[in-house]
Chains A and B, each alone.
Chain A
Amino acid sequence: MDSKPAPIYVDNAATSFPKPREVIDTISSLLGGMSLSPGRSAHRYSLECSRIIFEARETLASFFNCPDSSRIAFACNVTEALNAGILGLFGTALHPGDHVITTPFEHNSVMRPLRYLEKNAGLTLSILPLSDEGEVMVSELPRLMRDNTRLIVVNHVSNVTGSVVDLEEIGRLKGECLLMVDAAQSAGVFSIDVKKMHIDMLAFTGHKSLFGPTGSGGFYLREGLALQPLKMGGTGSNSETEVQPDFMPDIYEAGTPNTLGIAGLGSGVEFIVKTGLAAIRGHEQRLCALFLDGLRQLKNVTVFGPGAGRQRAAVVSLRVKGKSESEVAFRLDREFGVMVRAGLHCAPAAHRAIGTFPAGTVRFSFGYFNTEKDVATCLRGLDMIAAR
C-alpha cells in the first residue's frame, strides 16, 4: 500500500481552509480567556464580548461600505441570512401576487425559499437567461420586469462555474425593485459596495472567502427596510417588554450569538483588509488561469463555465470523459491527496442551465493559500485519471 499523499485542499468554495493564523489565535484566546455571553450582564467579560462583536460589525460595515454598522445583523450562515431576507420580506415589502426575478445560478438557499413562496404564497418567479458565454444576461432584466416586480435576488458569483454577475449594472437597471445579493462566493474576493451597487440587502457567509469559522455570517439591510424577524427572544435590550425590539441589529439577533464565530469572522475580514482584496483576487485568479491553461492540454476533460478572458472566480467545474464525477473526486483524494467536490453543489438550477444535471460536475475551487504546485498536482492527477 502506498503511503498517503499529502493533503491538497481545493474545495474552498465549500469552506476555506486553512484559516489565517490571526483567526485561529482570536478564537482560541477568546475560548480559553473569558465567558462568551455579550450584552447580557454588566461584568467585564460580557462587556468585552459586546465590544468584540461591535468591532466585528464595524469592520464588516466598512468592508462593504455600509454607512451605518447597526444595519449589519449577524446570522449563523448565508442560508440563514437569505431566509431571513426572503421569508422576512414577505409581509413587509413582498405580498401575494408579487413578482420576483432571479438567476439560474442561485444556490438552494435562495431557490428553496423562493419556490416555497411561489407554491404557498402566490409569488411569481422569472429567471434571467444565460448567454452563450455561460453568464447571466443582466441586459434581459428590463424585458422581464413587470409592474408588480418587487424583488431581484442575485448570486454574485456562481459556486458552480465561477461566473460573475455585474451588480453595478443590475443596480442601474433595477428601478424601484429591491436588490438582494447572495455574496457567499464573492465576499472577500470581489469588491462589494452596497451604496455604489444600490444593494438593498447583502447576505454573506463567514466561513468561505471571509476566512471566519463555520457558523458565522450575516446580512446588511438598507436603512428604511424592515423584515419580519425569523426568530424572537432575548436581546439584552428592552428587557422590560415582552415585545421584540424594532431596531437593528437587535431585532434580528435574538438569542446568545456565536461570539467565537463573529470574533473569528472579524479577524478574517481584518486579514483581508491587511492583505488587500486585489492581492487575494490576483493570486487566486493567477492559479485559476494556470489551471485552465493546463486543462486545455488535457484530452478527455470538458470545462463548464465562462469563456477565456471573461471575469471569473477561481471556481472550475469539469467532467472527465467516461468517468463518473464521484469516481474522479474519490481518486483525486485517494491517489493524489486532492480534495474537491463532485455533484450538484446544492445548485440544481445551475447544473440544469449549463447542461450537467443530474450528475453534476467535479468542482475545483482555489483559495488564497493554494500554490502553483497545488495546481500542478491537480493537473497531473486529472491527466492520470483521464488516461486510465
Chain B
Amino acid sequence: MWPPQHHSPTCVVILFSIHFVLKAEKLFKKQGISHDVIPVPREISSDCGMAVEFPCREIEKVSELLASADIRIAGLYRRDGRDSFQVISRS
C-alpha cells in the first residue's frame, strides 16, 4: 500500500543520488529505524529518484546518522497528508 500507512507522522528525506539513498537504507537497517524507500513525491520534486520515509520522531537520530556518514541532505519534509508535504529544510 502506498503511501505507507504509518501510525505516527512521517518525514521524507531527499538525498543527492540513489547511492546515498541506499547508504542511508543500510544505516537505518543497522540502527533499527523503521523506514521505507519511496519514489521522490511529485509534490516535492520532479526528479525521478528515490527518497527515504521514516517516522518523524526519529528525526534527530536520522539527522545525526546521515551527518556522521557524510550523507548530505538535499531536502527534509514532513508529510501532512497523502499528497502534501511541508518543508523542514532544503539545501
Contacts and interface: CB of A to CB of B under 8 A. Distances in A.
Interface of A: 38-42, 47, 50-51, 54, 57-58, 68-70, 235-240, 245, 247, 249-250
Given A42-B39, A47-B37, A68-B70, A250 B47 contact: no
A42 B23 CA distance: 17
Interface string B23-64: 100100000000001110000011111100000000000000
27 contacts: A39-B17, A39-B18, A39-B49, A42-B38, A42-B48, A50-B22, A51-B22, A54-B18, A54-B22, A54-B26, A69-B19, A69-B23, A70-B19, A70-B20, A236-B48, A236-B49, A237-B16, A237-B17, A237-B47, A238-B49, A239-B47, A240-B46, A240-B47, A245-B16, A245-B17, A247-B17, A249-B19
Tell me what chain A mostly uses at the interface: helix, strand, loop, or mixed: loop
A54 B26 CA distance: 10
A41 B23 CA distance: 18
A42 B47 CA distance: 12
Given A47-B37, A68-B70, A238 B20 contact: no
Nearest to B69: A68
Closest 4 CB pairs of A and B: A42-B39, A54-B22, A237-B17, A39-B18
A250 B39 contact: no
Given A236-B18, A240-B46, A250-B16, 12 more contacts: A39-B17, A41-B48, A47-B37, A54-B19, A54-B26, A68-B70, A69-B19, A70-B23, A236-B17, A239-B48, A240-B45, A240-B47
B74 to A, nearest CB: 9
A47 B50 contact: yes
A239 B17 CA distance: 11
Contacts of A51: 22
A68 to B, nearest CB: 6
Interface size class of B (residues with CB under 8 A): 10 to 19
A237 B50 CA distance: 9
Nearest to A249: B19
B48 A40 contact: yes
A58 B19 CA distance: 10
A42 B50 contact: yes
A38 B48 contact: no
Nearest to B49: A237
B45 to A, nearest CB: 7
A51 B23 CA distance: 9
A341 to B, nearest CB: 37
Nearest to A238: B47
B45 A38 contact: no
Most buried by A among B19, B38, B50: B19
B2 to A, nearest CB: 10
Contact of A237 (B18, B26, B38): B18
Contact of B18 (A50, A68, A69, A240): A50
A69 B17 CA distance: 13
A38 B19 contact: no
Contacts of A245: 16-17
A68 B70 CA distance: 9
A63 B70 CA distance: 20
Contacts of B22: 50-51, 54
Contacts of B46: 239-240
B14 to A, nearest CB: 11
A238 B40 CA distance: 11
Contact of A38 (B16, B18, B23, B38): B18
Contacts of A235: 17
A238 B20 CA distance: 13
A54 B17 CA distance: 11
A243 to B, nearest CB: 13
Contacts of A41: 48
A245 B19 CA distance: 13
Contacts of A239: 46-49
Contacts of A50: 18, 22, 50
B32 to A, nearest CB: 19
